[in-house]
Amino acid sequence: MDLQYLVREPQNITPETPILFMLHGYGSNEEDLFSFVPTLPEDWIVVSFRAPRNSNYGGYAWFDINFNEPSNFLDENEGNDAVKSVMENIMAITNKYGLTNNPTHLCGFSQGGIIVYSLALQYPELFSKIACLSSFPEEKMLKNIVKDKKKYEKLRFFISHGTDDAVIPLEWGRKAADLLYDLSAYFSFREYMSGHGVNQKNYLDLMEFFKK
């Protein structure tokens, strides 16, 4: 499935040009995280995907969510299909631009972050900087993660969560710190006085992570 997306291209593109793929949350669209573009590095290609499903609350979704039954939050097959679709689109766009020796970064918010965790932990050799905002690693989608800790040496994770998040509890988000610690991955886990979103301090820290 070819996903729709927005793209910001730098003036010059070479095989080494960095590229950032962005995945929005449930009920949102590709314009949401694309609003970060003005403060992202100017020499990066930035791609913001639109999820393929219509959500029940307007906007789009990567997979259906069972809000009434947290223990059965998502359908495993739907989630894995979404990961596969995003991976195929990442490879297609990378090939389109002739990127052969470049860093590839990921940024996902909420539901998009669940997919980003799955991508980064299944294919760690393909990515560089990973940002997961107001999200959590879903165990159902992490059954095929790479267990070789050496594979994670080049990855850098930025994890953020609001202390008052009423959509994805902070305790769920903290699972990421335990998981990444066990994998000996480099990560920064930060909590902010906010709800289910990205406040100004969170945003500034995220931009600093991408620029340094």
pLDDT per residue as tens, the chain (212 positions): 799 999 999 999 999 999 999 999 999 999 999 999 999 999 999 999 999 999 877 899 999 887 666 666 778 889 999 999 999 999 999 999 999 999 999 999 999 999 999 999 999 999 999 999 999 999 989 999 998 999 999 999 999 999 999 999 999 999 999 999 999 999 999 999 999 999 999 999 999 999 98
Whether domain 5-211 has CATH 3.40.50.1820: the reply is yes
DSSP symbol at 115: H
Q: Where are the domains of the chain?
A: 5-211
- For residue 107, the cross-strand partners are 22, 131
Give the pTM: 0.96
Environment class of 72 (CB within 10 Å of its CB; exposed 0-12, middle 13-18, buried 19+): exposed
